[in-house]
Amino acid sequence: YGYVPLTNVRSHSNGLCVLSGGVGGAKLVVGLSKVLKSTEFLVVVNTGDDFHHLGLKICPDIDTVTYTLADLVDQERGWGLKDETWNFLNNLKGLGGDGWFNLGDKDLATHVERTQRLARGDTLTSVTKAFASSLGVSSMIVPMTNDPVSTIVETSEEHLAFQHYFVRDRCLPEVKGFHFHGIGAAKSNPLISEYCEGNNNAAIVLAPSNPFVSIDPILGVPGLKDRLLSVKGPKIAISPIINGGAVKGPAAKMMEELGIPSTAMAIANHYKGFIDALVIDHSDSKLFEEIEDTGIKVFITNTVMRTLENKVVLANECLNYIDQFWEDKW
Ligand code: FO1
């Protein structure tokens, strides 16, 4: 991380609830964490990517957000810990074990300890909070639910659990659809409703995460979407599609396979009915009118977050849009 002037720090007393997946969402959350106090925003994280592997409970998006905020994430991969070693994985492979999912030696401690704590009855929320605190992260990171939900990718051949599709099969199978196993019985994290209760004017921000496999599982938890809609602040999404492609991950490929054009316009249509505004990149400025015709307000800025400065600027821009909403300048 480079030098970022602290003059960016600002107050945002209405509160903000950001819905996030892994890598892309974590980048925006870092930006927000540099300009807001940790008490001023709640990060609701997707748990549809979670799975059991080698007897361990793995929560990739929670770990990515936590490691990123702790400045411990491997910047190049976007997930896992920096300065990682792979002795466990290599030895496992040497024994003929299941080595397709890359668990680093340091990262392994997180999964082992989380699995232990869950087995003795702790909730995923309390484990997440404890780990964040141990890593020096004061931001409020909460799983969408404490109950098990698994994103299933329906492909032309078979139904695959998300990590099997994403990591083992390298997103190669053709996507036909998605469903979220267990979601019907999942209770939304009570901390989200509590936050909405205490911050009735909170803004809701959908991070530039994959709409199908990161944001939809969160909005699909029974009652959660309506609870978020009931708060009075603006609901804003940042398009994960920039100039027809995704910065990282399979969002654009998924859209093509589903017969949806991979454009910011399609993102607007996907979130229509939930969002008031969509933040798009300069390179998509030609879509301004077409998107605004749907009744969704459009803001144009730089949404590519390569540097820390990019992240802080985008976070600040989102806060400016939210302020403008209250000043009735939309
Ligand atoms: N992503 C990969 O592409 N390959 C991996 O082997 C891999 C391992 C892994 C281990 C722990 C962890 O927290 C994340 C890991 N990820 C890996 C990332 C993860 O699959 C994705 O970030 C998310 O699930 C998509 O949001």
Query: What are 291-308's pLDDT values in tens digits?
Result: 999 999 999 999 999 999
Q: Which atom of ligand 1 is nearest to the CA of 100?
A: 6
Pick the residue with more confidence: 13 or 216?
Answer: 216
For residue 7, what pLDDT is reported? 47
The values of phi and psi at residue 75, to 5°, are -65, -35
* Residues 23 and 60 sit within 8 Å (Cβ to Cβ): no
User: Is any atom of ligand 1 closer than 6 Å to the C-beta of 211?
Assistant: no
* Mean predicted lDDT score pLDDT of the chain: 96
CA of 282 to the centre of ligand 1 (A): 30
Burial class (CB in 10 A: 0-12, 13-18, 19+), 185: exposed
Residue 9's pLDDT is: 62
| Of 155, 194, 149, 148, nearest in space to 171 by CA | 155
Is the per-residue pLDDT at 158 higher than 70?
yes
Query: How far apart are the two ends of the chain, measured CA to CA in Å?
Result: 34
Q: Can you give the pLDDT at residue 212?
A: 98
Cα atoms in the Cβ-side hemisphere of radius 13 Å centred on 257: 18
- Stretch 59-79: mean pLDDT: 98
pLDDT at 13: 81
- Cα(193) to ligand 1 centroid in Å equals 29
Whole-Å CA distances, 31 to 117, 141, 239? 31, 15, 16
| Residue closest by Cα to atom 3 of ligand 1 | 167
